[in-house]
Amino acid sequence: MTSAPSPASAPPAVPPRTTGLVIVDNAGDDLAATRHLNALGHLADGRAIVRPTPGASDLPTLGLDVLVALGKHPHAARNERVTDGWTISRAWLEGAGVTDVIVDRAHLLTAEQAAALAALAAEAEATLWLLWSDSDPLQTPAVHQAQQALQAPAEVIDLWEFHQRLPAPARPPLAAGPGQESVWPPLPAADFTTFLAACRRRLARADFAQVHAIYHDAADATDDWLEAITLTGQRTAPPIGAITGWLRDHTVGCAPTPQTALIRLRAVQAALFVHGILLRWQADALGADPARRLLGDLTPHIAARLHRICRTDAAAATTLALHLNHRCRDFDLLRLADVAPDGSAIRTPALEPGGLWAASYPRYPGDKIKHPRHIDDVTWAEFAFTEPIRIPEHARPIFAAHRAWRRQCGASETDPYFVHRKEPKRRPPAAMLNSLVKRTCATLGLDPFWMHGRNCIYGTDIGVTHRTIGWTVERGLTVHPLAPVRDIGLPRPRQPRGERTRWARRPIA
């Protein structure tokens, strides 16, 4: 746990990276080069290793090889009907922050392919490394075309210098201790009013020390956060949106284990109750292990599988839907300026006095008047609030890649972040995004309940009543602002006898 987060601001300006062309002389086709490529890492380390298909001299095939180097499935481009693989590759390179594009057996490339790779690396501000297993690389047309595309001379180094200048990243040790679920003892099912006392009675001293530290850390952070939003005047709005963001992005949803999530939830409940907000948790409706349902649905494993999707709009919409547990009804209200360049935060439209927003009205030709969003709508209250949505670190490149793709399409900072692919200026994208999210979830083997239609029996709670959609609803959480103390049962002075209202009695029949 950390202190209360500060409001989203523009990230500091990052100086442009220097691009260049480096040729690694591997005339002997040494096996050590292949081993070093396998140990260089992946996109998280800022490196993309391209292995061209042998015998293929066309650009579309090389574009598919670049997509595979970016972690995409070999058949994803065809299944998702991606027509321009190079544009998608450029967006994913920029979104992932790739600094080095390494091409294995580059002597097999044609001049056109080498020029295309050099242009791709130049636009992504990355260094192009060519592993050359032939003699005299500087006299080949491929190297000349690459130099012209990068507008930089080529540098020839040997294999030993390649190991020194591009070393393999150090792997972190495996997680141990409280990060593993097996080391946690069973926690009591007491409410937040007696949870810490029950833990003191039933747990060993060492186990209670861990619970005590996590509990008070979460409670102190919640107190600091409540004080921060009170000072900025945000407590005038309904607390459901702010509390949902605090639970989802900073305390409960991002917990490493279900036990940690339960401890943090009890601490947040206690801190909110002191400030006049009752956060109830109905754990009986969440199955045999309710604490596991508290965690967020956008896990690192699911985010890694979402990185294999080629289309940036499908990946970004699915990631946001899984993170918020929402449908794509309000995603068309986002602008490019609302998304941070690194994908770390998304600023949503804030609630106006009265609960309405100007964009609730039609913005496309032939669009009907939408139902005005009101503060009583849980989905809208969770989506639209003054604090930005914090994106987990393992999912940030997805939003950065889609933002880069929209900028490549000519969109400005005031243009929508999600648009309809075929008719971006005439049709709203909500229906298309819902279809993309359902198709992507089916590809990943996921079946989120909040994406079901109103006519689906699995999307109802009781009878034929459609279930309410929201992050708190999926976890059995409800927020109840408590009335001030001065309004609870205080005696009121009686009116003077002469000012009492006298009612005329009906005549007795």
3-state secondary structure 439-498: HHHHHHCCCCHHHCCCCCHHHECCCCCECCCCHHHHCCEEEEECCCHHHCCCCCCCCCHH
Nearest to 167 by CA among 80, 347, 26, 45: 45
Rounded to the nearest 10°, the torsion over CA 413, 418, 420, 422 is 60
Q: How many CB atoms lie within 10 A of CB 130?
A: 28
Q: Lowest-confidence range among 34-48, 177-191, 426-440?
A: 177-191
Burial of 418 (0-12, 13-18, 19+ CB in 10 A): buried
pLDDT at 427: 84
pLDDT band for position 357 (cuts 50, 70, 90): very low
Residue of 81, 149, 75 lying closest to 109 (CA atoms): 149
Q: Which of 78-87, 128-137, 144-153, 309-318 has the lowest mean pLDDT?
A: 78-87
For 442-453, the pLDDT digits (tens) are: 989 998 877 776
Task: Write down the pLDDT at residue 465.
Answer: 54
Helix (H) / strand (E) containing 419: none
| Nearest by Cα to 314 from 66, 84, 77 | 77
* 235, pLDDT greater than 90: no
- Catalogue the long-range contacts made by 411-414 (C-beta closer than 8 Å, 24 or more residues apart): 411/336, 412/336, 413/335, 413/336, 413/337, 414/335, 414/336, 414/337
What pTM did the predictor assign?
A: 0.82
Among the CATH numbers 3.40.50, 1.10.287, 1.10.10, 3.40.1420, which is that of 20-165? 3.40.50
pLDDT in tens, 177-228: 455 555 778 899 899 999 999 999 999 999 999 999 999 999 999 999 988 8
- Locus of tokens 């049962």: 489
pLDDT-wise least confident of 110-119, 149-158, 178-187, 315-324: 178-187
- What is residue 73's three-state secondary structure? coil
pLDDT of residue 383: 85
Q: Looking at residue 12, what is its pLDDT?
A: 43
Per-residue confidence (pLDDT) for residue 365, from 0 to 100: 56
Helix axes 258-274, 205-231, angle to 10 degrees: 50
Q: Which residues contact 354 (CB under 8 A, 6 or more apart)?
A: none
| pLDDT in the model for residue 452 | 75
DSSP category for residue 247: I
Residue 332 has pLDDT above 90, yes or no: no
Helix, strand, coil percentages, rounded to 5, for the chain: 45, 10, 45
Q: What is the pLDDT of residue 276?
A: 86
Alpha-carbon distance of 267 to 260, in angstroms, equals: 11
More confident residue, 81 or 484: 81
Share of the chain above pLDDT 70, in %: 79
pLDDT value of residue 491: 45
Average pLDDT over residues 344-352: 76
The pLDDT of residue 506: 53
Q: CB neighbours (10 Å) of residue 166?
A: 18
Residue spans per domain, the chain: 20-165, 194-296+460-481, 300-357+371-447
pLDDT for the residue 212: 93
Residues 347 and 433: beta-carbon distance below 8 Å: no
pLDDT higher than threshold 70 for residue 13: no
The better pLDDT of the pair 376, 205 is held by 205
Average pLDDT for residues 403-432, to the nearest whole number? Answer: 88
Comparison of pLDDT for 365 and 208, the residue scoring more: 208
In angstroms, the CA 320 to CA 185 distance is 34
The mean of the pLDDT values for the chain is 80
Question: What's the pLDDT score for residue 20?
Answer: 85
392 or 17, greater pLDDT: 392
For helices 85-96 and 111-123, give the axis angle rounded to 10 degrees: 40
The residues near 18 (Cβ < 8 Å, ≥ 6 apart) are: 127
pLDDT confidence tier of residue 352, bands split at 50, 70 and 90: very low
Dist. CA 100–CA 20, nearest whole Å: 10
| Confidence grade of residue 50 (pLDDT, cut at 50, 70, 90) | very high
Phi and psi, residue 56, nearest 5°: -95, 120
Average pLDDT of span 153-165: 88
Confidence at 304, pLDDT banded by 50, 70, 90: very high
Q: Which of 74-83, 160-169, 174-183 has the lowest mean pLDDT?
A: 174-183
Q: Is the predicted pLDDT of residue 497 greater than 80, yes or no? A: no
Question: What is the radius of gyration, based on Cα positions, of the chain?
Answer: 28
What is the spatial distance between Cα 439 and Cα 451, in angstroms, rounded to a whole number?
11
Q: What is the pLDDT of residue 173?
A: 55
User: What DSSP element (H or E) covers 60?
Assistant: helix 59-69
Beta pairing, strands 100-103 & 277-281: unpaired
